Structure 1
Amino acid sequence: MEITRENRKWLDDLQLSHPLVIAGPCSAETEEQVLETAHALKDSDVTMLRAGVWKPRTRPGSFEGVGAIALPWLMRAKKETGLQIAIEVGSAMHVKIALQYDIDVLWLGARTTVNPFLVQEIAEALNGTDKVVLVKNPVNPDLSLWLGAVERLQAQGIKNLGVIHRGFSTYRKTDYRNNPQWQIPIDLKSKHPDLPLICDPSHITGNREMIFDVCQTALDLRFDGLMVETHPTPEQAWSDAAQQITPSTMIQIMEDLRIRKKDFSDASATENLEHIRTDINNLDTKIIGLLSQRMKLAEDIGALKKKDNVSILQSEIWKRTLSRMKEQGANGGLSDSFIDAFYKAIHQESIHHQQKMFD
């Protein structure tokens, strides 16, 4: 897939002096609610009004959106405020209806992105459209699956593209509703710097109190924009009440966020940075050398286990090792989650090297 400046022309054409901001309720509930939200945001830096029309829910019986009857409400909001309209589509039928109403921006949700068959149907329904189409990351942390959805859209002649980072499901308990795993969108941005990248802090956090910090992190990582769920009375929202904020809070967040410079303006600071980076490079080289030595020792252990017909996995030893490393990491100012991920990767590689001795 080749992403060029042409694919972000829609964003460049907006000529914004700030990151793109898409805001609005999780679900369009009533016409009054939609219009109240839109009018509260119209004189701010918000460019697009978002609202869920069809809501994919984990379990049946939950509120699944009011459906197409909300689209005239949204078009009235656009007429009265000038805000562009963005909605989620989850099927070819949704696309057909959205295009009939001339909706400006369509996005594919996480549960849709995970299904290539469904993405293909939606892409074909959008064939040749000049609408902006955004793709949320799949539920699971799979960069190829995320980019694959973009490629399917691109193959149908859709040029105005972008992606939305909304975090990833995990079986481990974290502070987030969906773990951000920032390295995945960073890898995406490295591969395709011209593909607009938008952060959805509402679904990452699931908690309105954490919205600002995640927004700031996204901007610090040079995301192109934000999509934030905004509701006049969040506590009374029909869906995802805990993660929505009021329009006034949204406006205050936009005022408080800091846009970082791309580069240092001070020559001496740049010089100091290069010295520090040199020291880091030297340490990285030593780390790789030490890891290589560690894997050679793992192979020695594998040879001993093979000779005496002992199983590779020694769970109790591994648990003690991980516990010891977490304690040492904490003493060195390293987070528990980092040590956990780092040493699990080392352990997996060690098992691989031991297995080679059994082949």
Structure 2
Amino acid sequence: MLIAGPCSAESEELMLKTARLLKNVNGISVFKAGIWKSRTRPNSFEGVGTVGLQWLQQVKQETGLKTTCDIVNTQQAQEALKYGVDILCISGRATVNPFAMQEIASALAGTHVPVLVNNPVYPDLRLWLGALERLQQAGITDLGAVHRGFATDEQHPYRNHPKWEHLLELKSLLPDLPILCDASHIAGKRSLLYPVSQRAAELGADGMLFESHVNPAEALSSPQQQLMPQELELLVNAVVTKVKLSETTKMVDEMDELSKQIGSLDNELMELLLRRTAVTKKLSSQGGLSSSPLEQASKLQQQLERLLQQDQLTGMDAGLVQTVVKTLQHTSVSQSFNISNSAVA
């Protein structure tokens, strides 16, 4: 199943022009456009609203393509159904909120509309499962999931880190559930669309979502991740025929491996910090840090200066090293001071 359309509905003319071209792309059966755009901060483009649903109606009538759009609350769900939207796609900003999901599920009870559920913004598989379960309990049986990546600390080079293991785990837990991959929101830029799509296909995704605009440079939102319909046709053909773009694929593989290494190193670093805290606390309680806080600070400053002169720190950010060491110094001195006060009390 292939779904495509502009990130945002901008005008009826643009929607129709894009839809007419996408209709001719092999495999695309659903047209998607952003009607409401949830923004972290105000005073930015937040979508055209209900009028965009009228444009979706026109697309459906003229091209025969089914339609879908993202919704985040019951009001948007009801509006979309009122205008004949064929598939509701629940935003990850709603999936992350069990209260919002329960309200949407209750509002859709008794309907037979197909629903796609985006993964939550943050990598929590339980929230994703919970959203699907709430819809199932409301009697919604035509369900699918959309894997669009997650907000994490190590997203580079992606817009949203794919964390493919979540897709695989969801497939394992719900083997009959169709799972689509939103390649555009994972990639975040045109150069990564092919390797992301290729990886999703290799992992057994049941479909793809792409953002397509007749003039991406002029798009009101996410211009860097949208393709012209003609470009999208080339991409779809490449994925179907399993063409290998070795250099790009190798780069993404290396980035994924480096991200895993960073995660492992972060765990090791956290363990070391916990061990150091425990040792420092024990040393302080036994009088091992008997010097005054000022003497300790002077001694630790000398230690920092020696540390910064070591050859193995060449290429590291000296400011980062200073911040980390000074934070550790402050913690050690504070522990010593607190223990001393406790002893006096």
TM-score by length of 2: 0.73
Matched residue, 1:341: 263
Matched residue, 2:84: 102
Matched residue, 2:15: 34
Cα distance in 1 for residues equivalent to 2:270 and 2:184: 34
Residue aligned with 1:47, SS: strand
Cα distance in 2 for residues equivalent to 1:236 and 1:334: 32
Cα distance in 2 for residues equivalent to 1:334 and 1:237: 30
Cα distance in 2 for residues equivalent to 1:160 and 1:231: 29
- With over 3 angstroms needed to count, the CA separation of the structure-2 counterparts of 1:355 and 1:146, relative to structure 1, is farther
Asked if the contact 2:2/2:29 (under 8 Å) is kept, the reply is: yes
Tell me which structure has the larger Cα radius of gyration: 2
Matched residue, 2:6: 25
Cα distance in 2 for residues equivalent to 1:115 and 1:38: 33
Deviations 1:187-231 (A, max 9, x none): 111111111111111111211121111111100100000011110
Cα distance in 2 for residues equivalent to 1:183 and 1:334: 12
Q: Is residue 2:132 matched to residue 1:210?
A: no
In the alignment, structure 2 segments of 5+ residues that lack a partner are 243-254, 282-345
Aligned-residue offset at 1:334: 9.8
Q: Is residue 2:140 matched to residue 1:158?
A: yes
Matched residue, 2:174: 192
How many matched pairs?
A: 268
Matched residue, 1:170: 152
Cα distance in 1 for residues equivalent to 2:16 and 2:67: 12
Cα distance in 2 for residues equivalent to 1:189 and 1:259: 24
Deviations 1:223-269 (A, max 9, x none): 00001111000110011111111111111111111467xxxxxxxxx
Matched residue, 2:101: 119
Cα distance in 2 for residues equivalent to 1:92 and 1:339: 41
Matched residue, 1:225: 207
Matched residue, 1:244: 226
Cα distance in 2 for residues equivalent to 1:107 and 1:173: 24
- Provide the aligned C-alpha RMSD in A: 2.5
Among the aligned pairs, what percent are the same residue? 44
Residue aligned with 1:257, SS: helix
Asked if the contact 1:113/1:149 (under 8 Å) is kept, the reply is: yes
Matched residue, 1:3: none
Asked if the contact 2:95/2:128 (under 8 Å) is kept, the reply is: yes
Aligned-residue offset at 1:341: 2.1
Asked if the contact 2:154/2:161 (under 8 Å) is kept, the reply is: no
Deviations 1:114-151 (A, max 9, x none): 11111111111111211110111111100001111111
Matched residue, 2:24: 43
Q: Which amino acid aligns with 2:109?
A: N
Residue aligned with 1:63, SS: coil
Q: Is residue 2:26 matched to residue 1:68?
A: no
TM-score by length of 1: 0.70
Q: Is residue 2:64 matched to residue 1:142?
A: no
Matched residue, 2:73: 91
- With over 3 angstroms needed to count, the CA separation of the structure-2 counterparts of 1:190 and 1:350, relative to structure 1, is farther
